Amino acid sequence: MNRTKQQDRPVKRSQGGLMLWHGMDISGLRRLISSRPSMHWSRLHKLLALPPMALYNSGMGALESLVYGRAVAQTELVEPPIFVLGFWRSGTTLLQNLLSHDPQFAHLGLYQALFPWHFLLTETVTKKLTAPFVPQARPMDNVEVSWDAPQEDDIATAVMSQVSPYMFLSRPHDLRSFWKALDFENLSDAELNRYESCLMHLLKKLTYKTQKRIMLKSPFHTYHVQKLVELFPDAKFLYIHRDPYHVIRSGCHLRRRMIEENTLGRPVFHNVEDEIIDTYRFALERYEQDRHLIPEGNLHEICFENLEIDPIAELGTAYSSLGLNGFGHVEKAVLPKLFSLRSYQKNLFNDDPVLVRRVYEELRPAYERFGYSAPNLKPAAVVGESGAA
């Protein structure tokens, strides 16, 4: 079927009035400002919201600590977490969404991710009042959005600790903060301790609220398997991979959309393709270097292309491999959704033969490691990309 150029444009929609920075408390805003973020008058309405939001988050966070602080501090995790690993746009969101149907797991919702300091206190009322204003889908694809939709825990830890690759969105012209967060060896002891403390506090809050095993998803964790195993020796890991070219092509779109929606200054796109390829290469190197640290039986790898075709079979194999019980509940919940999953409207991109060749030549170890065939270059081809990041 022939498609017009207009049909080949990927999704671009607004994520609404809220940005990552609006969940920060006063200390977080101080760290953000001290990093000298880019600013521009066209973002003035969002900039002006930062101080009152920081005051609100600090106030509600202090009140929550008075009400729940002691109980949260005494909370123990029900079981070691389950981590979904994989590079951005490899299918981690699809996998997380499927796992979120398992009633034995708790996941981090969007409201909890954006307002981690006080969701125990404010979530119930605020979600009801603001639900009509939440965008219906993400800014980069057609994945549905709601306050309860599963979200990356890296959003929450970025808000809380400011140790995250997402901090580069405040300075898109300078990627040093992005690369610093990817390699914990670059962090000071204070920064690493702050990150670990915030992650543990977040997990305790989720456990206190749900009394369930926590299931977390963040591509950020793919770089830090060693640290995760140190913190949670018996944690389970699901690693998902996808054809590298589709990952890179979709990742470039994601990078641009995230900058456009979250920067406080003019959008700047600094060598996007180079950066995404380098970041993917580093993710693969770190995962291959550290995956042997995961105890036998605690790691299972999933092929996105297979998961997309037959999610029930792939999830069943994963549960069996990891020794997880309760797959029947997941199967029962996912079966009615198979039609909507298969009819999902993907972004479409015109194939770029130059990029196809470059990705294959520079990331050939990934093709070989995961069994993907060498690409067949065809001019003017159109490729689809999944909405699962």
Which of 25-29, 65-69, 147-151, 318-322 shows the lowest per-residue confidence on average (mean pLDDT)? 147-151
Q: What is the pLDDT of residue 12?
A: 60
Q: Is 182 contained in some domain?
A: yes
The DSSP element (H or E) to which 136 belongs, if any, is none
Contact 205, 72 (CB under 8 A): yes
**Residue 143 confidence (pLDDT):** 63
Residue 7 lies in a domain: no
Across the range 27-39, mean pLDDT stands at 93
pLDDT given for residue 10 in this prediction: 66
Distances (CA, A) of 210 to 16, 78, 205, 213, 288: 28, 10, 9, 8, 34
- What is the predicted pLDDT for the residue at 46? 85
Instruction: Note whether residue 11 is domain-resident.
Output: no
**pTM for the predicted model, two decimal places:** 0.89
Give a yes or no: residue 3 inside a domain: no
- Confidence class of residue 341 from pLDDT cuts 50, 70 and 90? low
CA distance 81 to 79: 6
**Range of weakest confidence among 52-56, 191-195, 249-253:** 249-253
- Helix (H, G, I), strand (E, B), or coil: what is residue 389? coil
Indicate whether 268 pLDDT > 60.
yes
Domain range enclosing 241: 20-385
Average confidence score pLDDT of the chain:
88
72-81, 211-220, 229-238, 342-351: lowest mean pLDDT where? 342-351
How far is C-alpha 385 from the chain's CA centre?
A: 17
- Could you tell me the two tokens for 228? 């995760």
2 domain residue, yes or no = no
**What does the pLDDT average to over 239-260?**
92
pLDDT band (50, 70, 90) for residue 118: very high
Q: Which helix (H) or strand (E) holds 368?
A: helix 364-370
Average pLDDT over residues 325-334: 89
pLDDT of residue 90 exceeding 80: yes
Q: Which of 48-57, 128-137, 167-176, 234-243 has the lowest mean pLDDT?
A: 128-137
For residue 276, tell me if it sits in a domain: yes
262 in any annotated domain: yes
pLDDT of residue 386: 46
Tell me how many domains the chain contains. Answer: 1
Predicted confidence at residue 8, as pLDDT, reads 54
* Predicted local distance difference test score (pLDDT) of residue 3: 41
What is the mean predicted confidence (pLDDT) over 88-92? Answer: 94
Domain CATH for 104: 3.40.50.300
pLDDT higher than 90, residue 129: no
| 2 pLDDT more than 70 | no
Which residue, chain included where needed, has tokens 């009152």? Answer: 52
Q: How far apart are CA 66 and CA 31, in angstroms?
A: 25
- Distance CA(201)–CA(204), nearest Å, equals 5
Mean pLDDT score, 261-279: 89
Beta strand ranges found along 182-226 (DSSP E): 213-217
Check residue 22 and give its pLDDT.
92
Residue 14, domain member (yes or no): no
**What span, in angstroms and rounded, lies between the C-alpha atoms of 175 and 172?**
6
* Mean pLDDT for the stretch of residues 251-274: 88
**Model pLDDT, residue 136:** 62
pLDDT score for 123: 95
Instruction: Give the angle subtended at the CA of 306 by the CAs of 278 and 349, to the nearest 5°.
Output: 50
Residue 241: the pLDDT is 98
